[in-house]
């Protein structure tokens, strides 16, 4: 089985575990207790121990945060600054993030079970890079001069949409925070952020750094709490102009209904996925197996675009199966602070048990368990890399998003069959293609109904490349200029022309 390094001990990595500094709500530039005075515990998935007690915000606290953001938008300097001035403060925030990279990476490791080494190398630097990317865009928000059909002069203005409510998930606490906050800031919006209840720590630290960077009070507000209370209050609030939500399709339905029955606020949804990876006969077997495992095991499969459905063309199917088993059993499952670890713990006990339930369901429905399928270690929420074969399209593990390290492995014959089966899902977030044939790559990438297609790579995200879903994976795009535009309103201004020699 996958290497088990006993998952560490609660104090083995104490030298890199920081003291928790911020546990209260951040509203109007200050850390405050919740109105109710209630708190909740945030739990370390690496060992099941309590990290800290966090202020539990609910509807009344959301009301305060919205009031703060509304006043900052209607009367404050942020939307009225030049884009260049906003960009300078965003750049300062990015510098502060880099100065605190060790502590921020450690917070996400403690709270979410993310690998500490990858947090330092990827997640936290990416948070800073997103701020810099959109800081550079803040002074490049332009409308158009319109060529009217009669004696009129017209132009468009791109104006900030207003107060934005961001609801972010627990799988990428830092990345998701800035994927939403950075473009909204560049656009001139004010906002409140509700981090997932499982992972509040880094969001509160980022709020502290925003204050140090000089972001005006009320522009950034962070309310920690639960989806059913704080999240629902954001979705239905009459004074929020837009909600940006990343999470499950089930909750996405609720967010959309709340927006429709309240003030018809705009929403963008990045929801679930059941992404296919198609490996064709001409692929390098060794590289294809590595890519397939990366696609399902990266970040413990806590990623909506995880390549959970792997289709292998029949000519190399047996070879790929052999390689996958061999390589999966060599993945190191260990404490996320351990530099040798490749696979950390699931985020909490509920998710851990849910994944084990899916594994049992897969066996019950007749899929063949090739490797894994069991807990790893003696404490914490660790699971072995798991691969199923002999999987049918109507099985639960193929149809439903597991959000865990469970691969469903299937065989196909023709390109047409591969395309048809890849599209046989209610989701449409991402897909991968492994082939040396450019014609196959072009045909398949244009035929799969998903928001992003990776050819001979996976998780190839970039600040310039828009990312979002088709079908029940949601709508709206993160990254790129599309993300900036979703926080802007377009206004047309028209005046008459008199005695002009031309239109």
Residue 436 DSSP code = S
Q: 474-475 and 145-146: which strand pairing? A: unpaired
Beta carbons within 10 angstroms of residue 413's beta carbon: 11
**Stated length of the chain:** 503
Distance of CA 59 to the CA centre of its chain: 24
* Inter-helix orientation angle 173-187/101-112, to 10°: 120
* 413, HSE (Cβ side, Cα atoms, 13 Å): 0
Residues 408, 307: Cα–Cα separation, whole Å: 9
Residues 106, 110: Cα–Cα separation, whole Å: 6
Catalytic choice (56, 189, 197, 304): 304
Closest to 243 in 3D by CA, of 171, 170, 180: 180
Residues 460, 122: Cα–Cα separation, whole Å: 13
Is 189 annotated as catalytic?
no
Whether the Cβ atoms of residue 221 and residue 24 lie closer than 8 Å to each other: no
* Cα distances (angstroms) measured from residue 156 to each of 78, 145, 171: 21, 7, 38
Residue 165 DSSP code = E
Whether the Cβ atoms of residue 239 and residue 92 lie closer than 8 Å to each other: no
Which residue do the tokens 């005046």 mark?
495
Is 270 annotated as catalytic?
yes
Closest to 192 in 3D by CA, of 244, 155, 227: 244
Whether the Cβ atoms of residue 215 and residue 89 lie closer than 8 Å to each other: yes
Catalytic choice (71, 270, 365, 416): 270
Class of residue 414 by CB neighbours under 10 A (exposed 0-12, middle 13-18, buried 19+):
exposed
Whether the Cβ atoms of residue 421 and residue 277 lie closer than 8 Å to each other: no
Closest to 386 in 3D by CA, of 401, 399, 368: 368
Residues 53, 404: Cα–Cα separation, whole Å: 27
Class of residue 214 by CB neighbours under 10 A (exposed 0-12, middle 13-18, buried 19+):
exposed
* Cα distances (angstroms) measured from residue 318 to each of 44, 152, 437: 40, 69, 21
Residues with catalytic roles: 270, 304
């Amino acid at each position: 089985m996958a290497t088990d390094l006993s998952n560490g001990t609660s104090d083995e990595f104490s030298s890199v575990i920081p003291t928790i500094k911020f546990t209260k709500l951040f509203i109007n530039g200050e850390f405050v207790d919740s109105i109710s005075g209630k708190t909740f515990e945030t739990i370390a998935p690496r060992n099941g121990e309590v990290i800290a007690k966090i202020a539990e915000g609910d509807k009344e606290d959301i009301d305060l945060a919205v009031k703060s953001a509304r006043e900052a938008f209607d009367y404050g300097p942020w939307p009225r600054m030049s884009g260049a001035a906003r960009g300078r403060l965003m750049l300062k925030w990015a510098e502060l993030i880099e100065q605190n990279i060790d502590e921020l990476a450690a917070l996400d490791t403690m709270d979410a079970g993310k690998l500490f080494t990858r947090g330092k190398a990827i997640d936290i630097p990416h948070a800073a890079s997103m701020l810099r990317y959109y800081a550079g865009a803040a002074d490049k928000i332009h409308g158009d001069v319109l060529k009217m059909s009669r004696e009129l002069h017209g132009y468009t203005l791109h104006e900030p949409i207003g107060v934005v409510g961001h609801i972010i998930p627990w799988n990428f606490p830092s990345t998701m925070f800035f994927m939403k906050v950075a473009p909204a800031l560049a656009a001139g919006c004010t906002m409140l952020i509700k981090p997932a209840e499982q992972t509040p720590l880094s969001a509160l630290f980022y709020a502290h750094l925003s204050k140090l960077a000089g972001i005006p009070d009320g522009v950034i507000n962070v309310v920690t709490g639960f989806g059913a209370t704080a999240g629902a209050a954001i979705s239905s609030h009459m004074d929020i102009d837009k909600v940006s939500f990343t999470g499950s399709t089930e909750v996405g339905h609720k967010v959309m209904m709340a927006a429709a029955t309240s003030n018809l606020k705009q929403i963008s949804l990045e929801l679930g996925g059941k992404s296919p990876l198609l490996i064709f006969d001409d692929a390098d077997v060794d590289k294809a197996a590595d890519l397939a495992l990366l696609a399902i095991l990266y970040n413990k499969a806590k990623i909506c675009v995880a390549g959970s459905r792997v289709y292998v063309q029949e000519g190399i199917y047996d070879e790929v199966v052999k390689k996958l088993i061999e390589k999966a059993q060599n993945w190191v499952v260990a404490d996320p602070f351990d530099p040798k670890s490749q696979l950390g713990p699931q985020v909490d006990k509920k998710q851990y048990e849910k994944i084990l339930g899916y594994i049992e369901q897969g066996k019950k429905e007749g899929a063949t368990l090739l490797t894994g399928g069991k807990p790893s270690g003696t404490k914490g929420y660790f699971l072995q890399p798991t691969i199923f074969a002999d999987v049918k399209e109507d099985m639960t593990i193929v149809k439903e998003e597991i959000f865990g390290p469970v691969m469903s492995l299937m065989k196909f014959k023709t390109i047409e069959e591969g395309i048809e089966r890849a599209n046989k899902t209610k989701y449409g977030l991402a897909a991968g293609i492994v082939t040396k044939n450019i014609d196959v790559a072009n045909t398949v990438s244009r035929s799969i109904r998903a928001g992003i297609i990776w050819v001979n790579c996976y998780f190839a995200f970039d600040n310039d490349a828009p990312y979002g879903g088709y079908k029940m994976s949601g709508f709206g795009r993160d990254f790129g200029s599309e993300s900036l535009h979703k926080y802007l309103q377009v206004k047309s201004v028209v005046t008459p022309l008199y005695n002009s020699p031309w239109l």
